[in-house]
Amino acid sequence: EVQLVESGGNLVQPGGSLRLSCLISGFPSNAYSMVWVRQAPGKGLDWISYIDAHSITMYYADSVKGRFTISRDNAKNSLYLEMTSLRPEDTGVYYCARDPGGFSSGWSDYWGQGTLVTVSS
Amino acid sequence: QSVLTQPPSVSGAPGQTVTLSCTGSTSNIGAPYDVHWYQQRPGTAPKLLIYGNVNRPSGVPDRFSGSKSGTSASLAISGLQADDEADYYCQSYDNRLSGSRVFGTGTRVTV
């Protein structure tokens, strides 16, 4: 059974940093690209970042470029999102998801339950 | 601000068919890039409904069907059930600037 479990969400002050993790199980983590998707409270889905299966290619939404870094450790079956210079508008639930397609054609077929990040003083 | 526009809400009676639209442009759906659809029930993670414009993952009922034409895509839900009450999002890719995955604004379906 495919399982994605996010962790690391917390309350952080503006300008602060946070590292999210996503533990992968139920499929070979080195066989699939992964993405992070954010959902602000009461709002829609917002794609944040993409990483291919072997960490060769990474993409970011303009809203987080230069502040967030996606990475993965296939040996630890884990995906990460390092977030710096956090802003109140970064508040939301962060989902990791498995991505079977390419960046321009792909979709997310399995999602974690999400982890809440709150940026506030 | 999303580049894929969806109607904020759609409602229908049990058993009816509703159609949700997703309107884009020549830099995304019309480019043409594939459209995918997700269902999100309150308090839960999104669930994949349709991928590659028309394909249903295993386990998704055939009451859900997708289509695409020009710069728009549609999701039809037939035989509407109470369990279908949820938010529905389309997703595609936009090739402007450095390129980006994009989600639609979302449609709340009320049964």
- The SS3 call for residue B108 is strand
Reading chain B (111 residues) residue by residue, the pLDDT tens digits are: 679 999 999 999 999 999 999 999 999 999 999 999 999 999 999 999 999 999 999 999 999 999 999 999 999 999 999 999 999 999 999 999 788 999 999 999 999
Of A47, A111, A113, the CB nearest to B101: A47
From chain A, the residues in CB contact with B103 under 8 A are 37, 44-47
Cβ contact B100–A113 (<8 Å): no
Q: Which of B101, B102, B105 to mutate to test the interface with A (most CBs of A within 10 A)?
A: B101
**What is the C-alpha to C-alpha distance for residues A35 and B30, in angstroms, rounded to an integer?**
24
In chain A, whose CA is at the least distance from the CA of B106?
A44
**Average pLDDT of the residues in A75-103:** 97
Length of chain A in residues, anyone?
121
Residue B91: list chain A partners with CB under 8 A.
45, 47, 107-108
Contact between chains at A107 and B106 (C-beta distance less than 8 A): no
Which of A:55-84 have CB within 8 Å of B? Answer: 59, 61-62
Nearest CA-CA distance, residue B2 and chain A, Å: 9
Contact B94, B103 (CB under 8 A): no
pLDDT tens by residue, A10-28: 999 999 999 999 999 999 9
User: How far is the C-alpha of B74 from the C-alpha of A11, rounded, in Å?
Assistant: 39
Q: Which residues, in sequence order, are bridge partners of residue A23?
A: A5, A78
Using the beta-carbon criterion (under 8 Å), do A35 and B102 form an inter-chain contact?
A: no
Cβ atoms of B22 and B73 closer than 8 Å:
yes
Q: How many CA atoms lie within 13 A of B30 on its CB side?
A: 11
Flag whether pLDDT at A36 surpasses 90: yes
Instruction: Taking residues A89-114, report their average pLDDT.
Output: 96
pLDDT score recorded for residue B2: 79
- Other Cβ atoms within 10 Å of B92 Cβ, number: 29
